[in-house]
Chain A
């Protein structure tokens, strides 16, 4: 999947992290569209799978089609001219499952950060949201407990997020952050909403359990009233 993943473990058995990472490597091997032998690539080539569609891949494709419908096609795992790419959904789902493995192993306080997408257990944890223009500053700081935070933005790879309805890059948003009960929901919602452009802000706000923080191209901030903004940091 090509992004760094770090785990901040505050209790429990560190060996649990090895098992979580093992799952993430497995998920990458099975679902990456950049590996020609992955389940996703084989499905894209319409190769018959020996044991049919795996339940995991079926679940991922279901999630993709849910968000495709919910965004009127703005979010799409299959943009014309590109192969099947369920990355936006796979990433959040796979990292959430890694978190579930840690929890199942008895870890109660941890943060996993997967390329800027965050899932927490216990807390409260202070999560800084990267400023879309000033890379070394935050545009807000959130305080979350056993919640996930995902951000979609243009600042790193430029205009790489396409609106599936038009095939054109999204240019009216700089970044959009979603807080949700799971990273599966937070990541998919942030990506899908970003693909919709500014109208995605309100759409994301209507999604179950989601709080939203978005910066538009004019540097205006739009956030939901329930966003868990952290108070001033405690000295020391």
Chain B
């Protein structure tokens, strides 16, 4: 059991960095610093994964969850949890990733568009209507007046 855990942990480390880099790619800063990722210990220790065939001798489709060790990168700490069915990874969960406090999404994806002006049937209106004078002239006032 202990022997089998070793290649899995190494696989975890090797697997983490590309996965995380993929996530971070939209950030130009991360892309510029990309060479730093080659320092990832997983790559240099890759030969160790040659022990992996041992793991494949495990009973087929046995489900196993392993948590990788904490990897410190120049971007921050990275740690993943992998779920294996036999020797196939079926699920990857980021236990720890850079700049991701629980209150933050990893990377915001913003869509750029041109400003559109439309008229539509709506239930209510969101806008900065902070004075009653502005309210009287607003679409929301019309909607409220229409209410039954």
Chain A positions within 8 Å of B, measured between CB atoms, are: 2-4, 6, 8, 111, 113, 115-118, 120, 125-131, 133-142, 149-157, 175, 177, 201-202, 205-208, 212, 215, 219-225, 230, 233
Q: Are A207 and B130 in contact (CB under 8 A)?
A: no
Q: Are B134 and A128 in contact (CB under 8 A)?
A: no
Add 5 more A-B contacts to A113-B140, A138-B118 (CB < 8 A): A3-B135, A4-B135, A128-B124, A130-B127, A130-B139
A81 vs B122: C-alpha distance in the bound complex, in angstroms?
41
Q: Are A134 and B126 in contact (CB under 8 A)?
A: no
Q: Are B122 and A141 in contact (CB under 8 A)?
A: yes
Nearest-Cβ distance from residue B122 to partner chain A, whole angstroms = 4
Whether A224 touches B108, Cβ cut-off 8 Å, given contacts A115-B135, A139-B116, is: yes
Chain B positions within 8 Å of A, measured between CB atoms, are: 102-105, 108-132, 134-135, 137-141, 144, 147
Nearest-Cβ distance from residue A225 to partner chain B, whole angstroms = 4
A-B contact pairs, 13 of them (CB 8 A): A2-B130, A113-B124, A113-B125, A115-B128, A116-B128, A118-B126, A120-B124, A127-B123, A202-B110, A207-B103, A207-B104, A220-B113, A221-B113
Contact of A115 among B119, B120, B122, B129 (CB under 8 A): B129
Q: Are B117 and A138 in contact (CB under 8 A)?
A: yes
> For chain B, what secondary structure do more than half of its interface residues adopt (helix, strand, loop), or is it mixed?
loop
> For chain A, what secondary structure do more than half of its interface residues adopt (helix, strand, loop), or is it mixed?
strand
Whether A206 touches B104, Cβ cut-off 8 Å, given contacts A127-B124, A233-B120, is: yes
Q: Are A2 and B116 in contact (CB under 8 A)?
A: no
A3 vs B108: C-alpha distance in the bound complex, in angstroms?
33
CB closest residue in chain A, given B99: A206
Q: Are B103 and A127 in contact (CB under 8 A)?
A: no
A104 vs B117: C-alpha distance in the bound complex, in angstroms?
38
Nearest-Cβ distance from residue B78 to partner chain A, whole angstroms = 19
CB closest residue in chain A, given B135: A4
Nearest-Cβ distance from residue A151 to partner chain B, whole angstroms = 5
With a cutoff of 8 Å between Cβ atoms, the chain A residues found around residue B130 in the complex are 2-3, 115-116, 156-157
With a cutoff of 8 Å between Cβ atoms, the chain B residues found around residue A111 in the complex are 123-124
Give the interface centre of B110, B112, B130, B138 by most chain A CB atoms within 10 Å: B130
Contact of A117 among B126, B132, B134, B137 (CB under 8 A): B126
Nearest-Cβ distance from residue B70 to partner chain A, whole angstroms = 23
Whether A233 touches B129, Cβ cut-off 8 Å, given contacts A6-B144, A8-B147, A201-B110, is: no
A201 vs B121: C-alpha distance in the bound complex, in angstroms?
27
Whether A222 touches B110, Cβ cut-off 8 Å, given contacts A3-B135, A155-B128, is: yes
With a cutoff of 8 Å between Cβ atoms, the chain B residues found around residue A156 in the complex are 128-131, 134
Nearest-Cβ distance from residue A42 to partner chain B, whole angstroms = 24
A15 vs B108: C-alpha distance in the bound complex, in angstroms?
42
Task: Please provide the 7 A-B residue pairs with the shortest distance between their CB atoms, ordered closest to farther.
Answer: A130-B127, A205-B108, A128-B122, A153-B128, A116-B129, A116-B127, A221-B113
